[in-house]
Structures are given as C-alpha cells and as structure tokens.
Amino acid sequence: MTRVTGLIDSNSLSAEDTSVVIIGAGPAGLTVGNLLRAAGVDCVVLECESREFIERRPRAGVIEEWAVRGLDRRGLASAHLLAAERHTACEFRLAGERHRFPYEELAGSRHHVYPQPLLVTDLMRSYVDERGGDLRCGVRDVRLHDIESERPSISYLCPGTGRRRLLRCAYVAGCDGARGVSRAALPEGRVRIARHDYGIGWLALLAEAPPSADCVLFGVHPDGFAGQMPRSPEVTRYYLQVPPGDDPAAWPDERVWAALRRRLAADGAPPPAEGRLVEKRVLDLHDYVVEPMAVGRLFLAGDAAHLVAPIAAKGMNLALHDAFLLGDALAARLTGADPEGAALGGYSGACLRRVWDYQEFSQWLSEVYHGAAVGDPFRAGTAVARLRRLFTSPRAAAAFAEQYLGTAERY
C-alpha cells in the first residue's frame, strides 16, 4: 500500500510514495485502479467530487458486448451487468415509417443496457470495498509535476485540512474526463489535438417514464433529430436536435413532449410515454482526439484523451477500451511481467486505432441524423439515401452493424 514518507521540504508538503496516481474516478480511472489492485500494484485514485455524486451522475446507458466481455475476463463484470437487458435491434423512423434494424442478426453481437451510474457503483465497490483501494474524494487544485522525469508527482489540496499534499509515483493515469487537468498538463508541442465541431446542439433529457418501444429509436425528421434510449423500465433518455448553445429554459416540458411526439411519429407506433423530466441540458456536439495519448510518464485514458459526441453512444466504450489496455500494461510493467514496458510503448497507437474508427462512424451517423434538417435539399437527399441503403443493401447493413457494435476483427 501507499507508504507515507514524511515531510519533504521547507514548504511542509506532506509527501507519500505510490506506484501509480490515477486522476479521476469515472469508468476509466476506476477500471485502471481495479486492474492495478488485482495485480497487487499500489495506486491512489484522486477524485474532485464525492463518491455519492459520481455514483449517481447520469450519462451513458449502453455498453457494447466486447466491453462487457472485457470486464468479465478481468473479474469486473457484476452479476447485475451480466444479467442486464440486452438490445438486439434498433429502429429508425423516417417519413412516418418504422424501419427495424436487427443488428444482432448482422453482427452477432448486442448492447447491454446498463446505465453508467450502475457501472461506476460496481467498479467503486470492487476497488474500495473489496480490494481496499485508496480513493481520495473531494480533492482540489490537482497539479502534475515532472511528468517527463522518471519520478513524477501529483499535488493536491486535501479537503479535510486545506493543506497541499504530494504523491510521488512511477506513472500517472490521467482519467479525469473532458474538463480535467491532465490534458492541460501535456507540454506544449508534444501532442496534437484534433478537433471537430458539428455546429449542432442536442437537448439531453432524462424522463421518469417507461420507454415507448423495446429498443433504441432514431427519428430522422425535417424539424431535427429525435432519439429515445431506454435506461430502465422507469427511466428513459431522450435527445432532441436544437440550435447549438440553445437555452434549456426555451424548452418547457410541453414543448419537449410535442417535439418528441412529432419527430418520433410513425404508423402504428405509440407516442412517447410522458413523465417528469429530471434532466434537461444542451450539449454542443463536438469531438477531439489527443495524439499521442501519452507523454513521458503521463498516460491519458477515456474522455481526457478523446471526446466523441454521444451520437453513436461510443464514449464510455472507448474509455473502457483504453482502461483495459492501460491497466493491463501498467500492471505488466510494474510486476515485472513486461520489464521493458513494451505494452505501455504501444498503448497510444493501440487505443487510437479504435478511437479514430469510432470518430469516423459518429461523423458518418451524424449526417444521417441531422442532414434532413439543415435546410439544404441536397444534403437532405443524400442523408436519406445513406439511411435507406441500410434497408436495401445487406452488405451496407452488415457493415453498419459491425461499426455500431464495435465488432471489427482488427482496428
């Protein structure tokens, strides 16, 4: 476990030594922490929020089957996750018609419907309660030092005392999401950050209401995209395309339900079941990718390294993929199984191949969802053709299913 080594300098910084400091206790950070603890490697997870807060934060809802298998292989899939409802199809709604898309038949794989707070709660319980992992919540002003040296360190303000503390380590895992400090600590000129802005907003909604269909619904409509994602028998996520930067206050509940009814309308389909809207916020859709994902002893994982707009529900899956590779590589390096650190050396390249593939798919899908509503008849025509091809060409349908489920043999 972490060894407290006492004061290190005249500033009276309380310093400790550990092997890995993980910044951020989301899906990426907690997965890395669990893999290190399982291998007997000491680590500390620093998190700026409380445990209660992060175990309730609503976000993603579906996990691709390969990621569930990856968790299971590493002893991290709870019985609840393994028993979670699986989706085998989705439905597109276009011009009042319903087009069911049976992706399991085409890709041999499914989605597990498992809301992110449940996954985070499972990973937290495993890391803290079962493996005795060191988690420090509520930390403030986290700073990274000497990441290009062999002995980097992380300092932070302790919530209890308000004093700055120092953790010296061999490696740093930057898993602190899109708004964290790790990415900003990368030295200038050592990485390239590629960005893409869709110029589109999504009103993200969480309703205390049952879903009106047994699968995900995508409504392609001249007014704008609408999506329905079941989360549980009592809770449903909805998305509505809105202008970027739109004010959620401009969307009173009656306007939301009217827009959902209109954009998801189709022959024989029941309207969305209404309920209390417990989340209503506007996401401006954008992506970024940091290349490479590591500099010196700092390795980024998950949203800290790449953001993919929630268009194709890929972000948490990518975070898990990074975390599997990073956790396994750090454990191998620090237990002596990989003394040269070959897996760590290949980490960034191995992650980025899947990251770019998922980014391209999300961009492709964005045009299908939004092309009909941009006011350009040419783009509307090609967007609808792109979608219809999935219902008329078995080969196009199979390729889509593979990308939607992330089942390509190699990335």
If the CB atoms of residues 243 and 388 are measured against ligand FAD, the closer one turns out to be 243
Q: Which of these segments, 56-64, 325-333, 352-360, 363-371, binds ligand FAD (CB under 6 A)?
A: 56-64
Tell me the window of 158-166, 176-184, 249-257, 349-357 that interacts with ligand FAD (CB under 6 A).
Answer: 176-184
Residue 290 corresponds to which tokens in the numbers above? Answer: 């940091």
> Pick from 65, 91, 122, 176: which binds ligand FAD (CB under 6 A)?
176
The residue (of 81 and 396) whose beta carbon lies closer to ligand FAD is: 81
Q: Scanning residues 281 to 340, which ones bind ligand FAD (CB under 6 A)? A: 302-303, 310, 313-317, 319
| Residue 211 touching ligand FAD (CB under 6 A) | no
Considering the complex, state which of residue 204 and residue 351 has its C-beta at the smaller distance from ligand FAD.
204
Shortest CB 253 distance to ligand FAD, Å = 18
96 conformational bin, left if phi > 0, alpha if psi -120 to 50, beta if neither: left
Nearest distance, CB of residue 342 and ligand FAD, angstroms: 25
Say whether residue 29 binds ligand FAD (CB under 6 A). yes
**Choice between 282 and 368, CB closer to ligand FAD:** 282
Q: Which is nearer to ligand FAD, 177 or 224 (CB)?
A: 177
Q: In whole angstroms, how close is the CB of 21 to ligand FAD at the nearest point?
A: 10
Candidate residues 20, 21, 22, 23; the one interacting with ligand FAD per rule CB under 6 A: 23
Question: Which 106-145 residues touch ligand FAD, going by CB under 6 A?
Answer: 116, 139, 142
- Binders of ligand FAD: how many residues, by CB under 6 A? 35
3-state SS, one letter per residue, for the chain: CCEEEEECCCCCCEEEECCEEEECCCHHHHHHHHHHHHCCCCEEEEECCCHHHHCCCCCCCEEEHHHHHHHHHCCCCCHHHHCCCEECCEEEEECCEEEEECHHHHHCCCEEECCHHHHHHHHHHHHHHHCCCEEEECCEEEEEECCCCCCCEEEEECCCCCCEEEEECCEEEECCCCCCCCHHHCCCCCCEEEEEEEEEEEEEEEEECCCCCCCEEEEECCCCCEEEEECCCCCEEEEEEECCCCCHHHCCHHHHHHHHHHHCCCCCCCCCCCCEEEEEEEEEEEEEEEECCEECCEEECHHHCEECCHHHCCHHHHHHHHHHHHHHHHHHHHHCCCCCCHHHHCHHHHHHHHHHHHHHHHHHHHHHHHHHHCCCHHHHHHHHHHHHHHHHCHHHHHHHHHHHHCCCCCC
Contact window for ligand FAD (CB under 6 A) among 69-77, 79-87, 169-177, 381-389:
169-177
Asked whether position 185 contacts ligand FAD by CB under 6 A, the answer is: no
CA 195 to chain centre: 17
Minimum CB separation of residue 315 from ligand FAD in Å reads 2
Site for ligand FAD in 236-255 (CB under 6 A): none
Q: Is 22 an interacting residue with respect to ligand FAD (CB under 6 A)? A: no
What is the nearest approach in angstroms of ligand FAD to the Cβ of residue 77?
16
Where do contacts with ligand FAD occur on this chain (CB under 6 A)? 23-29, 46-49, 54, 59-62, 116, 139, 142, 175-177, 179-181, 204, 302-303, 310, 313-317, 319
